[in-house]
Amino acid sequence: MKLLENKVVIITGAARGIGEGIALKLAEHGAHIAFSYVSDSSADKALALEEKLKGFGVNAKSWKTNAANFESAESFVNDVVKEFGTVDVCVNNAGISKDNLLLRMTPAQWDEVIEVNLKSVYNMTKQVIRPMMKARKGSIVNMSSIIGIRGNAGQSSYAASKAGIIGFTKSIAHELGSRNVRCNAIAPGFIETDMTHYLKEGEASKAFLEKIPLGRFGTAEEVANTTLFLASDMSSYITGQVISACGGLNI
């Protein structure tokens, strides 16, 4: 059964990693996919992904646009509505980390992480709620992190941005529930992507694995499955929630 037949989905930062996994899974379930990437070096990957997505018989198009910039997010969403007709689902996935102990963290490092991880979620959500409110339906899925719940030494900016996403998610769920627009967050644990490749090496890897009840890192596809659930009507009575996809690391 296809869970998102003919739905229009926007995903930020989907040329690789978890975003790419989400694009593939949602397209497999019949969704048309509009996705963004930010760096020139991702352009070839984005084009290749477009072709793969079209292989599922859906429309797919990528935009090179910075989700952290308000005006860019506004024109991205306007373009998508023009080309695809509406937006049913928005997955705010784009994120970066610039880890440093607070003693050494510069204002520029702090600002960059907050802008890319948190402000982007405001930028995108503010735009997509217009078509969603008009349609009286919609699902917004925000990518938080286990670090936003537990914190971590050396990751204060990342943790603050991901905790901020949780507060934002709950507030939007309150604001838009009456319009049948749902807003939820996912808190992944350690997922194997470019962002976490360094965790797989040596002793550090063993120490991390010992803390995960399921005894392994997660995959982008596993986060994509959680996203599919929250994007689709399978979760029609769920809003303002944070679902942990972390192999039990949070217990």
Q: Which residues are catalytic?
A: 158
Dihedral, CA atoms, 37, 104, 189, 76, nearest 10 degrees?
A: -20
Question: Residue count at the site for ligand NAI (CB under 6 A)?
Answer: 30
Residues 124, 95 contacting (CB under 8 angstroms): no
Nearer to ligand NAI, 43 or 102 (CB): 43
Taking contact as CB under 6 A, which single stretch among the options 81-89, 105-113, 122-130, 194-202 is the one that binds ligand NAI? 194-202
- Interface with ligand NAI, residue 12, by CB under 6 A: yes
* Rounded CA separation 87/128 (Å): 7
Residues 119, 134 contacting (CB under 8 angstroms): no
Dihedral, CA atoms, 36, 39, 43, 44, nearest 10 degrees?
A: -120
Nearer to ligand NAI, 97 or 239 (CB): 97
Dihedral, CA atoms, 187, 148, 122, 127, nearest 10 degrees?
A: 0
Taking contact as CB under 6 A, which single stretch among the options 8-16, 51-59, 225-233, 235-243 is the one that binds ligand NAI? 8-16
* Rounded CA separation 114/162 (Å): 9
- Interface with ligand NAI, residue 93, by CB under 6 A: yes
Taking contact as CB under 6 A, which single stretch among the options 33-41, 81-89, 126-134, 172-180 is the one that binds ligand NAI? 33-41
Taking contact as CB under 6 A, which single stretch among the options 3-11, 48-56, 75-83, 184-192 is the one that binds ligand NAI? 184-192
Altogether, the residues listed in the chain come to a count of 251
- Interface with ligand NAI, residue 116, by CB under 6 A: yes
Closest separation in Å from C-beta 6 to ligand NAI: 25
Burial 139-152 (b: 16+ CB within 10 A, else e): bbbbbbbbbbbeee
- Interface with ligand NAI, residue 159, by CB under 6 A: no
- Interface with ligand NAI, residue 140, by CB under 6 A: no
**What would the x/- binding string for ligand NAI be over residues 52 to 71, using CB under 6 A?**
--------------xxx---
Place of tokens 């009456």: 178
- Interface with ligand NAI, residue 239, by CB under 6 A: no
Question: Taking the CB of residue 31, how many other CB atoms lie within 10 A of it?
Answer: 30
Place of tokens 């049948």: 180
Nearer to ligand NAI, 195 or 209 (CB): 195
* Rounded CA separation 117/213 (Å): 28
- Interface with ligand NAI, residue 145, by CB under 6 A: yes
Helix %, strand %, coil % for the chain, to 5? 55, 15, 30
Q: Which of 3, 16, 180, 241 binds ligand NAI (CB under 6 A)?
A: 16
Q: Which of 2, 6, 39, 136 binds ligand NAI (CB under 6 A)?
A: 39
Q: Which residues bind ligand NAI (CB under 6 A)?
A: 12-13, 15-19, 36-39, 42, 66-68, 93-96, 116, 120, 143, 145, 188, 190-191, 193-196
